[in-house]
Amino acid sequence: MRAIVMASMVAALLLAGCSREQGGDHGAAADEAATGARPTVTVSKDQAVSPVGPWHPPAVEVTEANVLALKRKAEAALAKGTLFADADSALPILLALTRHAPDDQTVTETLSQATTALVAQGDAALAAIDNDADALRKAFEVAAVARTVAPADAAVQAYLGRVDRAEEAANANRRGERALAEGEVGEGGKGGALRHFRQALQWRPGDARANQGLAAAESLLIRRAELAADEHDYAAAERWLSFASRVRGDLGTVEHARVQIVGRRAARIRELRDLGIAALAKEGGLDAARGHLASLLRIAPAGDPAAVELRERIELASHYGVFRPGQVFTEALRNGGRGPQMVVIPHGAFRMGAADGERDAGDAEYPARNIRFDRGLAMARTEVTVGEFARFVAATGYRSRAERRGYSIAYDERSGNLVRRSSVDWRSDYAGKPAAANLPVLHVSWQDAHAYAEWLSAQTGQAYRLPSEAEFEYALRAGSVSRFPWQGDIPPAGAGNFTGGKDASPSGRGWRNAFDGYGDGAWGPAPVGNYSVNAYGLHDLAGNVSEWVADCWHDTYRRAPDDGEAWVNPGCRTAVVRGGSWASSPAQTRSAWRLGSDRNTTNARVGFRVVRDI
């Protein structure tokens, strides 16, 4: 750009407002008049003004006595190349000798030689235009002399044409530089600096000043692309680069700028992705992350991996916070140890309740309704164990309902029935014997389960609670829509602890109402996690032990909430039990089965598990 500015300043000083009346650019002359440009420079036939006017030969006195001396003097000046500077130069002397003796052949031949030398000097000046700021003026001076010396000479006429073209090129360059200074590049092909510089190259192929102008125009377009990139308008940046690429062809400059801008764009995209991900880790950062994604999408190419990643992260965060569906985790307890193992179950929708005409369905399971969970949920992988409940009791001194009243309902092997038995509480197994730590805790009331969840919340600083009835059925079904959580009427092998036709009690008892042909090897609850997980990674929702949920009992689902929240009435005494147990009939193992039970109930078939909001 510095070269262009220098060229422009020189051109302004030497050629300000150049125009020609014959074959010239009259539009340029009008521009000059309008802008108060300096007097024009011309070599036209009828007009010559300062600073290069018509050449008038210096006066040379010729007499018969000095003719020979003048001839010798002219020849010497010609040999030195001193052609028109003063009266001692070759051309003034030769012109004077020609006037004195028009028929002198020697003088005529020497004048012809001098004219040829003059044209050679002019051509040398034209050739030096690209490197010498004074060269064009020299060419004009030669043209003025040549027009006076030999206006009809073919070589002179040809030279004057070359000067005209150089003048046109200089005028075009001047107009191009003016347009460029005003920011009128002409990238759309409708004038501007580019048109003028290309006209200059048509008048004078290879003109350095025009090529410098094109380079400057290209640089200006690249700069506009860079400024657009600074504003993160990469579509505009690419448009400017596309214009720039058509200025001088494939010289590598534009592609280098494109690589730089692409790199900056990629860096900005990565920055926005990282800002969005960082925002997701902050309290209430979801909206900020969405804002970063919106900014990223405005500048990213379609399908950009960073945009895809951030969109997925936001989608996950909107449903799962900092978790991922299927993720398994535990949380530290303030008094030491870890809480229950939790599994993040996916958000989604399901139809809650029994299907129309479902076998064994009761009125309490109707009307079926659609439930949607817009946010995921963490649910305990298994039922709460005796060991986990013991940690709670040890930390708080809590006394369960069965402890305070001194009995619970346990299994009696002799009669094969569930009977009331003294001194049975959460420490006992299904038969009233001491329970192993890895068994699901039994003989707990709804209030006992609720108290454990509250303690867990206080220990972890997170919101633990009993699941709602809708959450339990959603997790139990795990995407299934059939009568049972599996296809068909018989559980798959290893699916869970159910009443199986192959099961037998310690004394050899069997079930009168069981899944024919199924056996799980257990009579009474089995250690947690002993059977396969369902599609959501959860154990024993359909079997082992039935479980307390948060809802109050209602005889039907009429007027039930459709958001999946627990349906609770202040002061209600009856809560909902969900899921089959080791001693449940096949009808009670169905996905839609539900039961109302007094909140103070404790027995050998009911336990619980917790959920955690995420």
343 vs 350: CA distance, rounded Å? 19
Give the largest Cα separation in the chain, rounded: 165
- What percent of the chain stands above pLDDT 90? 88
Query: pLDDT band at 51, cuts 50/70/90?
Result: low
Residue 597 belongs to what H/E stretch? strand 594-598
User: What is the model's pLDDT at position 243?
Assistant: 94
List 421's β-bridge partners, or say none.
408
192 vs 198: CA distance, rounded Å? 10
User: What is the model's pLDDT at position 178?
Assistant: 96
pLDDT digits (tens, 9 = 90+) for 549-589: 999 999 999 999 999 999 999 999 999 999 999 999 999 99
Q: Model's pTM, two decimal places?
A: 0.66
Residue 20: pLDDT over 50: no
Query: pLDDT band at 41, cuts 50/70/90?
Result: very low
User: What is the model's pLDDT at position 50?
Assistant: 36
* Angle ∠(196,200,206) on CA atoms, nearest 5: 135
77-84 long-range Cβ contacts below 8 angstroms, 24+ apart = 78/110, 78/113, 78/114, 78/117, 81/117, 81/121, 83/114, 83/117, 83/118, 83/121, 83/145, 84/55, 84/57, 84/118, 84/145
Which of 455, 342, 443 has its CA nearest to residue 395?
455
- Residue 154: CB atoms within 10 Å: 8
Residue 9: pLDDT over 60: no
Token duo for residue 329: 């985790």
Q: Which amino acid is at 582?
A: W
Residue 384: pLDDT over 80: yes
Average pLDDT, the chain: 91
Residue 18: pLDDT over 50: no
Question: Residue 184: left if φ>0, alpha if ψ -120 to 50, beta else—which one?
Answer: beta
Among positive and negative, which fits the CA dihedral 244, 247, 250, 252?
Answer: negative
pLDDT digits (tens, 9 = 90+) for 490-501: 999 999 999 999
pLDDT digits (tens, 9 = 90+) for 110-120: 999 999 999 99
Token duo for residue 360: 């064994």
pLDDT digits (tens, 9 = 90+) for 233-279: 999 999 999 999 999 988 899 999 999 999 999 999 999 999 999 99
Residue 4: pLDDT over 60: no
Per CATH, the architecture of 342-613 is what?
Answer: Alpha-Beta Complex (3.90)
pLDDT digits (tens, 9 = 90+) for 394-423: 999 999 999 999 999 999 999 999 999 999
* Phi and psi, residue 482, nearest 5°: -85, 180
Q: Which residue in this structure is represented by tokens 């001839």?
A: 71
| 173 close to 210: Cβ distance less than 8 angstroms | yes
Query: pLDDT band at 534, cuts 50/70/90?
Result: very high
Token duo for residue 197: 């510089």
Which residues, 6 or more positions from 449, have their beta carbon under 8 angstroms from its beta carbon?
384, 466, 548, 608
User: What is the model's pLDDT at position 483?
Assistant: 97
- What percent of the chain stands above pLDDT 70? 92
Gyration radius of the chain over CA positions: 51
Residue 25 or 426, more confident: 426
CA 384 to chain centre: 45
Residue 540: pLDDT over 80: yes
Residue 191: pLDDT over 90: no
List 440's β-bridge partners, or say none.
385
| 172 close to 214: Cβ distance less than 8 angstroms | no
460 vs 453: CA distance, rounded Å? 11
E strand residue ranges, 295-366:
328-329, 342-345, 348-352
User: What is the model's pLDDT at position 47?
Assistant: 30
Which of 247, 611, 269, 238 has its CA nearest to residue 460?
611
User: What is the model's pLDDT at position 451?
Assistant: 98
Average pLDDT over residues 326-337: 96
- What is the domain partition of the chain in residue ranges? 54-151, 271-320, 342-613
